[in-house]
Amino acid sequence: MAWVTCPHCGFTQIPSARCLKCHKSLERPAGGAEKPAAPAEVPAAAPPPGYAQLVKSLPRPFLWTIAGLAIAVVAATLIWSGGSAISANTAPEPPPATPEPWSMDLTGRWQGRAATTIPGNPPRPALREAFIETDRSGTIVAAGAVLTDPGRGGAGAGYLTVPDGRRRVREIAQALAAAPRGAALALDFIPLSPWVPHRDRVWRALEGQRSKAEDVSYLLVESLEPDYLIQAGINTSGFLSYVFLSREYAGNRGEDALSRVIHPGPESSLRGFRNVVWDMSGAADFVTLQVPVTLSQPAGAADRIVLRREGAATRAAASTGASAANP
């Protein structure tokens, strides 16, 4: 039961028509005792519109535009993917890589020297020298080796190639035919060492001479002198070879000494060669541009010599050959 307060005297009492104290009307509200006012209800927030309501609220032209754009994007993606797959499958294979041609210019003269010891009682010091001449591709076109034995002379041998071998053979054969006992020949391709005396020499044919100069294809000639033995080979193919020996190293005269010394293999090059002259063998180191070679003969054990390029080969006398054979 709710209590009421008299508005006239302030007496709090149970609900009644008149105040129990002052007997004045309490102005009781119609319908019974007063009831406390109920708190005002807060209206609940309306829920946000859903996706379906949002779509329904959009105008139809706008919806059709969005749908058309989506269809266009999907179609373009499918077309691009199909075209890429077809082009990837049908593209021609790249041509195989072609190896680059040899580009390093190896033209030049490669030479070196090394001290050695000749066995004996007592052993004696000596000097070995070697050289190789090459063209641009590294093919060996000339080679030679010299042993200098102080007080005893020494030995030297080598070879070179020239383009005018046939002319040289013909002229030398004609000169020998004109002087059977010996002819003066200017064999300028022989690089004689300083210990070989410079003198006018007369040459005779050991092998190859024919009655007709036109039939000669190879000549082996020897110098006529009592102390030094010098031989030279001239071939129509342009292969020229030589050997010169002092008295201490000379063998029997009138015999072929070249075949025991000069024997280069076919297509010898800096990439690898064997037995070029006096068993000289080796291969180039293209990183340092050096050619370590082993030279076994003449006299003594094998020696190691490092050849270094000294520049372009100068072989004017061998290439011109203007006075290679004069009667």
Per-residue pLDDT of the chain (327 residues; tens, 9 = 90+): 566 778 887 767 777 777 877 878 876 554 444 444 445 454 555 555 555 565 566 666 766 777 777 787 777 777 766 655 544 445 566 666 555 555 789 999 999 999 999 988 889 999 999 999 999 999 999 999 999 999 899 999 999 999 999 999 999 999 999 998 999 998 999 999 999 999 999 999 999 999 888 899 999 999 999 999 999 999 999 999 999 999 999 988 999 999 999 988 877 899 999 999 999 999 999 999 999 999 998 887 789 999 999 864 444 333 333 333 332
Report CA torsion sign: 199, 202, 206, 208: positive
Position 16 in a domain: yes
Position 92 in a domain: no
Position 149 in a domain: yes
Position 278 in a domain: yes
181 shares its domain with 304: yes
114 shares its domain with 9: no
30 shares its domain with 124: no
Distance CA 48, CA 59 (A): 19
DSSP 213-252: GGG--EEEEEE--SS-EEEEEEETTSEEEEEEE-TTT---
Please count the structural domains in the chain: 2
Position 131 in a domain: yes
305 shares its domain with 158: yes
Position 89 in a domain: no
Position 267 in a domain: yes
The answer to whether 7 touches 36, Cβ cutoff 8 Å, is: no
17 shares its domain with 126: no
154 shares its domain with 296: yes
Expressed as residue numbers, the domain containing 20 is: 1-35
213 shares its domain with 314: yes
Position 62 in a domain: no
Q: What is the rounded (10 degree) CA torsion for 167, 172, 175, 179? A: -160
134 shares its domain with 266: yes
300 shares its domain with 214: yes
